[in-house]
Amino acid sequence: RIVYLNGTFLPIEEARIPVMDRGFLFGDGIYEVTAVLDGRFADNEAHLRRLDRSLGEIGIPNPHTVAEWTAIQNELVARNNLTEGLIYIEVTRGVQERDFAYPANLAPTVVMFTQAKPVRANAGLAKGASVITVPDLRWARRDIKSVALLAQVLAKQAAVNAGANEAWMVQDGVVTEGASSTAFIVTEAGELITRPLSHAVLPGITRGAVLRLVAGNGLTFVERTFTVEEAKAAKEAFFTSASTIVMPVVSIDGTPIGDGRPGRLALQLRELYIEALT
């Protein structure tokens, strides 16, 4: 596998990050994940805009223009013969003797790699995803796609330990979002609900695309918070992310959602999203 590190394409075994990289020492960096379908990027401009925003919010200069990022991504996809999977970008503040505060003009570290994996033909799709709920232990700026992901690591592992596929994080009784996804429910009245954007959640790129599809197809949605109880009583539930597109949820904490099978709207939105891309 060929990866990109600070201007160079090289075999992954030869790529080395210094011990004093602030991403390693402090989680002082941000990342992005874009899906690749049929060799094409899904919503890449939006991902690169969010990358720029995340960097700006923590004061790391964006080392590349959109055209430069895209050129590197294209070359990485070509060098790895990637037709379907993910492309990962990480930018850390850079390398410096360990100190919490940082000097001006540090050169950011840029790492990029691809992961070949089925995105469209997700093996879990026929059955749907099971979700557990966990307390949201994260910091107060979840809108920044920070590489400091310890709470999400623990949440996801708790899901795996419970035999589930995703963890929905809960604060004050309401669902914030999935460990690595945006949470949606559909009420018996047919209302599609997801949380409004704020510092409490990552502004999901797939979330935005799905809401545009919903509006474009005459369906309605409501941006508001919802409780775990509401989610368990919902007609449908699903989550969205670059890596899962739209994934129907069939149970929450063991409670079946709807008839316990993947929901119609979730599957329809998934198809619409894939159609719009390919």
> To the nearest whole angstrom, how small is the minimum distance from the Cβ of residue 99 to ligand PDD?
28
Q: Could you tell me the smallest distance in angstroms from the CB atom of residue 98 to ligand PDD? A: 26
Residues contributing to the site for ligand PDD (CB under 6 A): 33, 177, 180-182, 202, 204-207, 240-243
- Minimum CB separation from ligand PDD for residue 105, in Å? 29
Yes or no: say if 232 and 173 are a contact pair by the CB < 8 Å rule: no
- State both tokens at 142: 């979840």
Q: Which is nearer to ligand PDD, 131 or 202 (CB)?
A: 202
Q: Which residue number has the CB closest to ligand PDD?
A: 206
The alpha-helical segments, DSSP class H, found in the chain are: 22-26, 44-57, 66-79, 150-161, 205-216, 228-232, 264-277
Q: Are 88 and 114 in contact (CB under 8 A)?
A: yes
Question: At its nearest, how many Å lie between ligand PDD and the CB of residue 206?
Answer: 3
Residue 148 class from Cβ within 10 Å (0-12 exposed, 13-18 middle, 19+ buried)?
Answer: middle
Question: Between residues 130 and 180, which has the closer beta carbon with respect to ligand PDD?
Answer: 180
d(CA 138, CA 146): 11
Residues 120 and 108: their CA atoms lie apart, in Å, by: 33
Tell me the closest approach of the beta carbon of residue 225 to ligand PDD, in angstroms: 15
Q: For ligand PDD, give the closer residue by CB, 44 or 109.
A: 44
- For the record, the structure tokens of 9 come out as 């394409």
The DSSP annotation for 141-193 comes to: -TTS-BS--HHHHHHHHHHHHTT-SEEEEEETTEEEEETTBEEEEE-TT--EE
Torsion, Cα 205 211 217 218, to 10 degrees, reads: -170
Q: Which is nearer to ligand PDD, 15 or 33 (CB)?
A: 33
Active site residues: 145
Q: What string of H, E and C letters represents the secondary structure of 103-115?
A: CCCCCCEEEEEEE
Q: Which is nearer to ligand PDD, 128 or 203 (CB)?
A: 203
For ligand PDD, the closer of residues 77 and 175 by Cβ is: 175
Question: Least distance in Å: CB of 267 to ligand PDD?
Answer: 18
